[in-house]
Chain A
């Protein structure tokens, strides 16, 4: 095979993921991690004022240890913090306190949904820089606005080995990672940010690093763009050089950064304002003992224990709140029925309305009551869904809603048949259309009957009465 005919090699991807830890206060000071106004959650420490000194937030360390353990890392029993010095307007001290020589965790892994194992090189703790706000207009060319509210929020950085082989795998990795973090209760899926530096290369060539990509979807897009770009260049025989690139959200493309932005000698030193840390056996065991059952293991257990399919088990276990809800509801209601209803209907309502299960405050007892009514045929699926929407959005208990709105199925067969007869009389045209072979007309007639019966009756029941009466 000649050189030209040989296609470009495999795609090789490694990720450095920065995740904000969901603590109340910052990594080295007591400022809150949320704020309304710019620069209103800052003190001399996170602003880097001369004379201030850092003190480590115990919870941030515990959270980092949880993550490292959950990602199957080996824990370093003795570690310290370093100063990574570089100049940038978002840096309050022009050095970042991070871990360099000895991270809290090393040598872990994550299993992708395909079963592929992705190695994790290290998990370390560091502080978030401030947020730069680039204002529009003329002024924008002269300065950058800086908000130090974010400065000093605890981050963990999770660094993978170059084991990922496609943008889709990278996305799957990030999904698995955020699920673990959410499970551990250390990451706020709604408000916490995930920032990724991604390295992609085509086998046998130098890699390009795309820095500072926010969000999982953007990472996938940036990598997809890089993969196509690099493969194209390699095909043309262009010699790839190692470089740092930036991602443009608007265009989903990457561009080369000026060498000035990427070239740095961080000159790491031990941070002499902080002590060294030594983990005791008991401290580590306490954290290990409090680790929750993680989603992979939970999904397997769901499949066995409740005899549900793999897909549904995975959906239910992807979110710890949903998993718990399912298990609680299953104590009263048939598990397979509950699994289906929760994984489809409830999740659809939550996602469609941009709600979070963690904050929706759904009571398993209320949901169980609803599902029991549904199973007993006391309420139609349609009205059950309607009641669930009301519950999720307005916290009105479903049983109460059904009662108050008179949505209970309280019609006997005669009453339903009467309603059908009325409709058939009223809708002569539709009846004629149906008889002429119009299936649409049948759906219309079903809808009309449902209206008359306030949706209390299942559509399929109405349809079968209609079909019988129309001699279809």
Chain B
């Protein structure tokens, strides 16, 4: 039984847990599972040095830090100073940030040990972790290696499910990239309110959607880490001044009708079962309809995220960092050549669609229309939260698919798999995916969504779901 982060830190403080040994062991585990492709960078040397320093500190009575000696993995798109940070893309080969993301500063202050960068779909462009760019392999689900981890925070969830040691991961979501892999790997994935956690140092996908969040073995671990990394940051103009609510009571849970209907029957059934247990504990269940979000969420989400992404990815051109070629030709030729080699297929697809959606003649019909649709979708949530405290539905409409199944999907069929996760992400609502059961021995995730800054009620209900397992 792996001890929770809180318990681990207690043990470390009492010198009952050897940080050096624990760190060394987790690297042995990473190395012996390297064929699962959970890491893009394994930072053993750096981590062992950190562990040494922490161990030395403990000996002289330095016991502060809520993450004292805790191994923390970081999704590749979050910048760690001096550590190659590629967001899973070949075009960022060799990029070693000159600065730490704010979340990294926050965990380092608490005594965390950064063990490496976890694998992801290139720039977050994926639902299954299979859109790995050249030089990377798709991460495998530790529960069944023929199946995907989910994406795009694939390595974060995959390794969290795999490890026998205390560990949590800093993950990131744009349209469901924390919830999806958490669901497929049977771990807890916590996506905060937009702006609760600073995005400073996050390599952008879709800035109006991107959130850094956490993945932990348990709701407790994921919540603890989220509490540490959240907070206002003057370096991020979209960072919220408020913290999440300290307390809050939740009684009414809304069962989102359409998202249950559109999910695989067996998956829906497992989620209903978990909700039934909550009802037995005194929660009130109520059916809620979100017709607009379930019908138009996908289109609005993909248009907005691709449009923003196409501008974010413009900077990658082989000049200041990342993939370089011989400086040849006119700048248009050089930039085009680097970009054509550096981006993977899905990145190209999204850059093309995103560029198209904002070109003159099309931007009103695509980009602006999607932004206006978003207003309608946000309002639908607002109305729903007048009736219930929390919304519940399957995180993913299916269990982790096999790689052979994913291959057969067209890009649009693939996008449609995000149906349950994109609405909350479009509205910047906090949500958590918690293990709620299993189908064919693969985990099923239940997604709980609350109003802005109501992270605490999500934790408390998710704990109940987890406890009932």
In chain A, what residue has the closest Cβ to B357? A267
Q: Is the Cβ of A53 less than 8 Å from the Cβ of B235?
A: yes
B237, B311, B328: which contacts A85 (Cβ < 8 A)?
A: B311
Q: Is the Cβ of B97 less than 8 Å from the Cβ of A49?
A: yes
Interface flags, A77-90, vs B, CB<8A=1, else 0:
00000010101110
- Of B358, B367, B371, most buried by chain A (CB within 10 Å of CB) is B358
Cβ of B305 to closest chain A Cβ, rounded Å: 10
Q: Is the Cβ of A275 less than 8 Å from the Cβ of B101?
A: no
In chain A, what residue has the closest Cβ to B198? A53
A48, A51, A267: which contacts B200 (Cβ < 8 A)?
A: A51
Q: Is the Cβ of B311 less than 8 Å from the Cβ of A56?
A: no
Asked whether A55 is an interface residue with its Cβ less than 8 Å from the other chain, the reply is: yes
In chain B, what residue has the closest Cβ to A83? B311
CA distance A87 to B363 in the complex (A): 19
A50, A54, A274, A275: which contacts B95 (Cβ < 8 A)?
A: A50
In chain A, what residue has the closest Cβ to B208? A272
Interface stretch (choices A59-67, A92-100, A166-174, A306-314): A92-100
Cβ of A184 to closest chain B Cβ, rounded Å: 26
Interface flags, A41-58, vs B, CB<8A=1, else 0:
000100111111111100
Contact partners of A88 in chain B: CB under 8 A: 331
CA distance A48 to B332 in the complex (A): 19
CA distance A128 to B319 in the complex (A): 18
CA distance A146 to B318 in the complex (A): 14
Q: Is the Cβ of B317 less than 8 Å from the Cβ of A94?
A: yes
Q: Is the Cβ of B92 less than 8 Å from the Cβ of A265?
A: no
Q: Is the Cβ of A92 less than 8 Å from the Cβ of B315?
A: yes
Q: Is the Cβ of B363 less than 8 Å from the Cβ of A273?
A: no
Cβ of A441 to closest chain B Cβ, rounded Å: 70
- Residues of B within 8 A of A (CB-CB), count: 47
A52, A94, A260: which contacts B314 (Cβ < 8 A)?
A: A94
Asked whether B321 is an interface residue with its Cβ less than 8 Å from the other chain, the reply is: yes
Given contacts A49-B97, A51-B201, contact A269 B311 (CB under 8 A): yes
Contact partners of A270 in chain B: CB under 8 A: 371
Interface flags, A88-128, vs B, CB<8A=1, else 0:
11001111000000000000000000000000000000000
CA distance A95 to B363 in the complex (A): 17
In chain B, what residue has the closest Cβ to A48? B315
Q: Is the Cβ of A53 less than 8 Å from the Cβ of B331?
A: no
Q: Is the Cβ of A85 less than 8 Å from the Cβ of B320?
A: no
Asked whether B459 is an interface residue with its Cβ less than 8 Å from the other chain, the reply is: no
Contact partners of B314 in chain A: CB under 8 A: 85, 87, 93-95
Asked whether A376 is an interface residue with its Cβ less than 8 Å from the other chain, the reply is: no
CA distance A48 to B98 in the complex (A): 12
Given contacts A49-B98, A87-B314, contact A268 B202 (CB under 8 A): no
Asked whether B458 is an interface residue with its Cβ less than 8 Å from the other chain, the reply is: no
Cβ of B30 to closest chain A Cβ, rounded Å: 24
Interface flags, B449-467, vs A, CB<8A=1, else 0:
0000000000000000000
Q: Is the Cβ of B237 less than 8 Å from the Cβ of A53?
A: yes
Contact partners of B310 in chain A: CB under 8 A: 85, 267
Contact partners of B118 in chain A: CB under 8 A: none
Interface flags, B212-249, vs A, CB<8A=1, else 0:
00000000000000000000001111100000000000
Contact partners of A50 in chain B: CB under 8 A: 79, 85, 87, 92, 95, 97, 203-204, 315, 321
Given contacts A51-B200, A87-B314, contact A267 B363 (CB under 8 A): yes
Interface flags, A270-312, vs B, CB<8A=1, else 0:
1011110000000000000000000000000000000000000
Given contacts A49-B320, A55-B235, contact A143 B311 (CB under 8 A): no
Q: Is the Cβ of B237 less than 8 Å from the Cβ of A267?
A: no
Q: Is the Cβ of B200 less than 8 Å from the Cβ of A49?
A: no
Interface of A, helix, strand, loop or mixed by DSSP: loop
Given contacts A55-B235, A92-B315, A95-B314, contact A143 B327 (CB under 8 A): yes
Asked whether B131 is an interface residue with its Cβ less than 8 Å from the other chain, the reply is: no
Residues of chain B in range 231-269 having any CB-CB distance to chain A below 8 Å = 234-238
In chain A, what residue has the closest Cβ to B233? A53
Asked whether A142 is an interface residue with its Cβ less than 8 Å from the other chain, the reply is: yes
Cβ of A317 to closest chain B Cβ, rounded Å: 41
B237, B307, B371: which contacts A275 (Cβ < 8 A)?
A: B237
Given contacts A49-B321, A50-B79, A53-B236, contact A269 B97 (CB under 8 A): no
In chain A, what residue has the closest Cβ to B79? A51
A-B contact count (CB 8 A): 108
CA distance A146 to B328 in the complex (A): 16
Asked whether B122 is an interface residue with its Cβ less than 8 Å from the other chain, the reply is: no
Contact partners of B202 in chain A: CB under 8 A: 51
Cβ of B82 to closest chain A Cβ, rounded Å: 13
Contact partners of A260 in chain B: CB under 8 A: 330, 332
Contact partners of B207 in chain A: CB under 8 A: 272-273
Contact partners of A95 in chain B: CB under 8 A: 311, 314-315
Given contacts A53-B200, A143-B327, contact A267 B355 (CB under 8 A): yes
Q: How large is the interface on A (under 10, 10 to 19, 20 to 34, 35 or more residues)?
A: 35 or more
Cβ of B324 to closest chain A Cβ, rounded Å: 12
CA distance A50 to B321 in the complex (A): 9
Asked whether B360 is an interface residue with its Cβ less than 8 Å from the other chain, the reply is: yes
Asked whether B389 is an interface residue with its Cβ less than 8 Å from the other chain, the reply is: no
Contact partners of B95 in chain A: CB under 8 A: 50
Contact partners of B238 in chain A: CB under 8 A: 272-275
Asked whether B393 is an interface residue with its Cβ less than 8 Å from the other chain, the reply is: no
Given contacts A44-B97, A51-B201, contact A89 B331 (CB under 8 A): yes
A53, A92, A266, A273: which contacts B320 (Cβ < 8 A)?
A: A92
Contact partners of A143 in chain B: CB under 8 A: 327
Residues of chain B in range 67-85 having any CB-CB distance to chain A below 8 Å = 78-79, 85
Asked whether B199 is an interface residue with its Cβ less than 8 Å from the other chain, the reply is: yes
Q: Is the Cβ of A47 less than 8 Å from the Cβ of B320?
A: yes
Given contacts A44-B98, A50-B79, contact A269 B358 (CB under 8 A): yes
Q: Is the Cβ of B237 less than 8 Å from the Cβ of A56?
A: yes
Contact partners of B359 in chain A: CB under 8 A: 265, 267
CA distance A88 to B332 in the complex (A): 8
Q: Is the Cβ of B335 less than 8 Å from the Cβ of A87?
A: yes
Contact partners of A269 in chain B: CB under 8 A: 307-308, 311, 358, 363, 367
CA distance A268 to B236 in the complex (A): 22
CA distance A274 to B201 in the complex (A): 15
Q: Is the Cβ of B311 less than 8 Å from the Cβ of A142?
A: no
CA distance A49 to B310 in the complex (A): 16
CA distance A329 to B53 in the complex (A): 69
B199, B234, B235, B315: which contacts A94 (Cβ < 8 A)?
A: B315
In chain B, what residue has the closest Cβ to A258? B330
CA distance A56 to B236 in the complex (A): 10
A55, A93, A267, A275: which contacts B234 (Cβ < 8 A)?
A: A55
Cβ of B372 to closest chain A Cβ, rounded Å: 12
Contact partners of B200 in chain A: CB under 8 A: 51-53
Q: Is the Cβ of A51 less than 8 Å from the Cβ of B97?
A: yes
CA distance A56 to B202 in the complex (A): 19
- 20 further contact pairs, Cβ within 8 A, besides A51-B78, A269-B367: A44-B98, A49-B97, A49-B99, A50-B92, A50-B97, A51-B99, A51-B202, A53-B235, A53-B236, A87-B332, A89-B319, A94-B315, A146-B319, A260-B330, A267-B360, A269-B358, A269-B363, A272-B238, A274-B237, A274-B238
Supply 22 A–B pairs (Cβ within 8 Å), ascending by A. Answer: A44-B97, A49-B321, A50-B97, A50-B203, A51-B78, A51-B201, A51-B203, A53-B200, A87-B335, A88-B331, A92-B320, A95-B315, A142-B327, A143-B327, A146-B319, A260-B330, A265-B360, A269-B311, A272-B208, A273-B237, A273-B238, A274-B238
Pick the 3 closest A-B CB pairs, nearest first: A94-B314, A272-B207, A272-B208
Residues in B lying within 8 Å of A, measured CB to CB: 78-79, 85, 87, 92, 95, 97-99, 101, 199-204, 206-208, 234-238, 307-308, 310-311, 314-315, 317, 319-321, 327-328, 330-332, 335, 355, 358-360, 363, 367, 371
Residues in A lying within 8 Å of B, measured CB to CB: 44, 47-56, 83, 85, 87-89, 92-95, 142-144, 146, 260, 265-270, 272-275
